[in-house]
Amino acid sequence: MTLLSACTKGGTCTVVRVNATGALKQRLISFGLMKGTEVKMLECAPAKSTFEIKVGNVSLALRREEAELIEVTDVH
């Protein structure tokens, strides 16, 4: 499996698993990040360790630690 943090700018992928727990997992699910969801990487800021993604009509900013909890497939 690949982690969301490995997806490149402009790329898309499909969520396979969210390895977060507790409140963080609930927050990610409430934004639509769950198994089978397609995600588009809008921006990667490695220096700041942040990622901007688009899930459906929602844009989210994730920290590297959060992006590394999300397993994805079909990265292109």
Domains observed in the chain: 2-73 (2.30.30.90)
The conformational region for residue 49 under phi > 0 = left, psi -120 to 50 = alpha, else beta, is left
Please list the pLDDT of the chain residue by residue as tens digits (76 residues). 799 988 889 999 999 999 999 999 999 999 999 999 999 999 988 777 899 999 999 999 999 999 999 999 988 8
pTM: 0.89
Spatial neighbors of 76 by CB under 8 A, at least 6 apart, are 11, 12, 13
pLDDT of res. 75: 82
pLDDT of res. 47: 73
